[in-house]
Amino acid sequence: MGSGNTSAERAVNSDSSARIGRSADGNGRVARKTFGMHQGSGFLSTRQRRLAWLGFLLAAVQAPVSARLVDDSSWLFSLCVALMVATVIIADDAARRRPADASSAE
């Protein structure tokens, strides 16, 4: 009981430091498993999402330009289209942020 650290205690300490991903000399190891949230996939593909953003930007820019150049209220249609596309993009973004194992009934 006089020496303090026995070889069995050192073995347990080195084993516990290996389990948390650090070596005894302070250099971190790359973790093999990560337990973060898995991202759910949205209902739009990457290409569809890019086209939706392009459509949103074009409709959003076209609305004030058409309001300036045309006397009637047809620019409201461009505004409605831009708002509908923005709603689809927001819904897809929410689906992507939901964890992969979450049910859609929530």
Q: Mind listing the pLDDT tens digit for each residue in 12-54? A: 555 555 555 555 565 555 555 555 544 557 889 989 999 999 9
Q: In a 3-state reduction of DSSP, which class is residue 8?
A: helix
Q: What is the pLDDT of residue 41?
A: 79
Query: What mean pLDDT comes out for the span 86-91?
Result: 94
What pLDDT sits at residue 98?
Answer: 82
Average pLDDT value for the chain: 75
pLDDT tier for residue 99 given thresholds of 50, 70 and 90: confident
Stated pTM of the model: 0.55
The neighbour count for residue 100, using CB atoms within 10 Å, is 9
Sign, CA torsion 37/42/48/53: negative
User: In degrees to the nearest 10, what's the CA dihedral of 50, 53, 55, 57?
Assistant: -140
**Strand, helix or coil at 28?**
strand
